[in-house]
Amino acid sequence: MASSSPDSPCSCDCFVSVPPASAIPAVIFAKNSDRPRDEVQEVVFVPAGTHTPGSRLQCTYIEVEQVSKTHAVILSRPSWLWGAEMGANEHGVCIGNEAVWTKEPVGEGEALLGMDLLRLALERSSSAQEALHVITRLLERYGQGGSCLEDPASFSYHSTFLLADRTEAWVLETAGRLWA
């Protein structure tokens, strides 16, 4: 059964500061991880790519349509899944993902994980605002769901995203296929 709230405290946090709020003339983006302590976390580089029209892309649980061109990304991700907890792309777009619990039921079926949505947005966008639109379109079409742990015990949650680029930052809250 999918969990609607954590059994123990979880504290996955993101923050961003954009000029002129930063003490330096740069964007500062950070995220910590509250994944299980024995879960392998990889930092990986995925080069930009060109893909065959009509091809499909296998994410953690489901396939989606692949786009013709993807951007290079650096990701921090649990080794067992396709998506990522945080990352940045060649255009300076940074995204962090956090679990969020709401009164909205968590879907038990397989769909895109919030971490899959994060990677898809980084691979397909050149600005934070474009990344937000990528996530919301995919969320409306495929929804989010599936276990967020490699462990056989199901553990599912909704996602919050912090998206930033060199000029702006966005917070995107989601619950099921809903977003704000």
pLDDT surpassing 70 at residue 15? yes
The pLDDT tens digits of the residues spanning 90-142 come to 999 999 999 888 888 777 678 999 999 999 999 999 999 999 999 999 999 99
Whose tokens are 């302590």? That residue is 37
Which residues, listed in sequence order, are joined to residue 150 by a DSSP beta bridge? none
What distance in Å separates the CA atoms of residue 172 and residue 132, rounded to the nearest whole number?
Answer: 7
Whose tokens are 């930063």? That residue is 22
Q: Catalytic residue positions?
A: 12
The pLDDT tens digits of the residues spanning 25-72 come to 999 999 988 888 888 999 999 999 999 999 999 999 999 999 999 999
Provide the 10 A C-beta neighbour count for residue 176: 16
What distance in Å separates the CA atoms of residue 51 and residue 14, rounded to the nearest whole number?
Answer: 32
The pLDDT tens digits of the residues spanning 128-140 come to 999 999 999 999 9
- Give Cα 160 distance to the centre of its chain: 8
Burial class (CB in 10 A: 0-12, 13-18, 19+), 58: exposed
pLDDT for 147: 81
